[in-house]
Homo-oligomer: A and B are copies of this chain.
């Protein structure tokens, strides 16, 4: 499998996740506007992957303006930043990556053209490389928490496709599978975009990990029957009290996991922690077009005139979270203390 996203000369190449699993088509983005459109329209999705794409887009976008004076560079930078910042509001990794790029730009905005280009490009590639390392480390830390012969439920796609590779929740699944611990993965299909049925099943089958697709309404039934041992999900933003924003449907799973006494693990790099957000009520929830719920693959599934709602994420309160697994360690309640401690800790 080629990487989720790659910088190739003056083009950012990414697999079009809307076409999977039926077609493996790669988008070639030639400027930051094409990357912004790819993020907004969900050709690329997943909080870490969005952050990497935005960082690469900044570096690519600035190449055309690096020949200008400092004032011109600053105006260009602000415009590029704003276009990317407006693509999707919930995943904080986007803003975290943009902030890293902004600091590098601030340091080198007066540097010669080649030095500016090189610095921004290196920073974007560093964000990508660090994400892959973080996923591998989270995979190891999480796999240690997975019991033998585990039947693991996951939601949406927190996999290689949502990151630089390996994945967050699916990184734990992959690492646990290498230890021979995974009996079955239950993949919520995850309406409306079906990331579970399309992407998670595709990734895991390629790695030979047994995967059963279920509809989003089935999780409670299988938990009640004793067919699920734990739940592992990713995150789009984690508030400092441990409240977790993730794909719509996650909150229901967390309530069900608690009802059945099952561990509910959230796997996300520290770039997903939001030091500015004390609790989940401060996390903006993206409302996407109604039509994404009312249609599928060009087919209308509801009568003319039906209304729909499409919040893309929900917030799971920290009291339902067993642990947050990040690249620097495993945070347990009380999260207000444990998450801050991990955030202060030096990166691995």
Contact = CB atoms under 8 A, between A and B. Distances in A.
Contact of A306 (B213, B252, B305): B213
A299 B249 CA distance: 23
Q: In the assembly, how many copies of this chain are there?
A: 2
Contacts of A315: 224
A10 interface: no
Q: What 8 A-B pairs come out closest when comparing CB atoms?
A: A217-B249, A220-B252, A21-B303, A191-B215, A221-B314, A216-B217, A201-B306, A216-B216
Contact of A218 (B202, B296, B311): B311
A307 to B, nearest CB: 4
A294 B212 CA distance: 10
Interface in A300-326: 300-309, 311, 314-315
Given A301-B297, A302-B198, A190 B218 contact: no
- Interface range on chain A (Cβ under 8 Å from partner): 35 or more
Interface SS majority for chain A: mixed
A255 B296 contact: no
A93 interface: no
A296 to B, nearest CB: 5
A189 interface: yes
Nearest to A314: B221
Interface of A: 21-22, 155, 188-192, 194, 197-198, 201-202, 205, 210-222, 224, 248-249, 251-252, 255-256, 259, 293-294, 296-309, 311, 314-315
A302 B220 contact: no
Contacts of A219: 252
A289 to B, nearest CB: 13
A141 B315 CA distance: 36
Given A213-B308, A293-B214, A201 B248 contact: no
A23 to B, nearest CB: 12
Contacts of A189: 191, 293, 301-302
Given A220-B314, A297-B296, A311-B221, A303 B205 contact: yes
B215 A293 contact: yes
A149 B79 CA distance: 46
Given A22-B300, A197-B306, A296-B296, 16 more contacts: A189-B191, A189-B302, A191-B215, A211-B306, A212-B309, A213-B308, A214-B293, A216-B249, A218-B314, A220-B252, A221-B252, A221-B311, A255-B259, A296-B297, A297-B301, A299-B299
Contacts of A303: 21, 198, 201-202, 205
Contact of A307 (B194, B210, B221, B248): B210
A333 B252 CA distance: 26
Contacts of A214: 293, 308-309
A197 B297 contact: no
A216 B191 contact: yes
A205 B302 CA distance: 11
A169 B213 CA distance: 29
